[in-house]
Amino acid sequence: MDQFMERAVELAAENVRDGGEPFGAVLVKNDKQVAEGINELHQRFDVTAHAEIQAMRKAQKMMHSHELKNYTMYASGEPCPMCLTAMYFAGIDTVYYCASSEDAVDADLGKAKNIYEELKKPKAERQMDIIHMPLKEGQENPMQLWKVKRSRRIF
């Protein structure tokens, strides 16, 4: 285990002692720590305040950019689907984790594993109803607006 994973696990343990869940994360670029985060949903009443996302928010705010290409995430626990998706969107290259989804289930923290299983199902078979509502005829299409705007960009 390297220094970055040690720090992520240390953050997770501190968070448990402070009343939170056992998740910490460290974001690294070029072998240097850029940001860290802990699971703060119990403090912020925000289900998106996971450790990995908190670390990403800090780095993105510092850099004034949403891109995190060439960054590495160290997470005390295997990332949930939301965090993993955010890392894909940001362009993070590599993710290391310590505790597995199965370890989380054993600790009564199995929601992420349940969601991973749910995402494997066709939309019609999922617990949450996901219903497509197309645009009304003649309604402005934001996707087409975006496409036109992007095609006019000068690089």
Letter for the amino acid at 101? S
Q: Which of 14, 52, 78, 118 is catalytic?
A: 52
Distance CA 52, CA 33 (A): 13
Contacts with 36 (C-beta within 8 Å, 6 or more apart), sequence order = 7, 8, 11, 24, 25, 26, 27, 55, 58
Fill in the amino acid letter for 16.
Answer: V
Nearest to 27 by CA among 42, 129, 109, 63: 63
Note if 40 is an active site residue: no
Q: For residue 81, which of 107, 57, 50, 38 has the smallest C-alpha distance?
A: 50
d(CA 123, CA 42): 30
Catalytic positions are: 52
